[in-house]
Amino acid sequence: MAPIANSLYAAGISHETAGPEILGRFGMPQAACSFAESGILQIGGVSEALALSTCNRVEIYFSAASDGLADAVFESLYGADAEDFKKICSVKKNAEAISHLFAVASGLKSQMTGETEILGQVKAAYERARGLGHCGPTLNALFQKAIHCAKWVRTNTEIGRGKISVGSVCAELALRIFENISKAKILLMGSGEVGKLVADALYVRGASNMLVCSRTRANADALAEKIGCRSADFAAAKENIEKFDIVLCASLSREPLLKKADIEAACKKRGGRPVFLIDLAVPRNIEEDCGEIEDAFLYNLSDLSKIANENIAARKAEIEKARQAISTRANALAARLGLP
């Protein structure tokens, strides 16, 4: 392949550099990612663009004629907030950008090392951007090879031993709280992809008394039908929080769904029986000071990552094996594309 004239850039923030509030501030739903890419491609000298936005990272991959165009990309994305984004964002170029995406897709950059959901998110972002014509020779080669690399890592190493995912780790936490999960009354607030993963993981582990609610009742009904549980109006479920032993929140809401006053009232009605709150959202759905309430126990994504990484020492050799494979493949692609 002839060398690519433009350089490749990967710019963004992740759980390693920003908290959930910041990630939530700059995160984008899929429709917004497509719109953002279209705006970036209006910049002279930028020929390709792809936005990857998940609960743990917001990254823009683009091909551009010079380093100085990064500022224009940030301004296109965030306007008046571009300077705030620029202060905390990391920009990688060419071979470093390739290696970064390979590691991201393989789960090495995830908050839960080795988790399996990120590969699906990378593939979905690529398929969306490619379908819109936002990818050219550089990004097509980059994402195709990143997906191939991640599959090799999954097949030939054991960094994801135990099928690590938000759903499986959340279910593991629930099992630690209730040895017999079938007896726990569980409320799931949120009907998106994360909510479905958690619900599926709980269901296969024996959770039978589960209620799903969403700000859009039709979405709650659809998820409940898929997993075989009940659904409810959001307001009605929130008013009856005290009836549940475990409350999981996985909504895209920009504002907290549950505040300290809500949980204090629920705990009083529970008569000393503890309630376990699991917040899977970015930004957070449950006010952080709910964890200060005597009979309420609050867990978030950071707590789940600790569970997922408990056996990290045992997986150290596998992680190093994955890193070496990523380095070899990233360097090979950089040479093929003529990117230093």
Tokens standing for residue 305: 């990552």
The amino acid sitting at 237 is A
- 40, 73 contact by CB (below 8 A): yes
Tokens standing for residue 15: 């759980």
Q: Is the C-alpha dihedral spanning 169, 16, 41, 31 positive or negative?
A: positive
Q: What is the C-alpha separation between 98 and 337, in angstroms, rounded?
A: 11
Q: In what order do the strands lie in the sheet with 296-299?
A: 230-233, 210-214, 186-189, 246-249, 275-279, 296-299
- Give the DSSP H or E segment for 321: helix 316-337
Peptide bond into 340 cis (omega under 30): no
Annotated catalytic residue within 33, 55, 135, 170 = 55
For residue 55, indicate whether it is catalytic: yes
List the one residue out of 204, 228, 224 whose CA is nearest residue 216: 224
Q: What is the C-alpha separation between 203 and 190, in angstroms, rounded?
A: 16
Q: Give me the active site residues, please.
A: 55
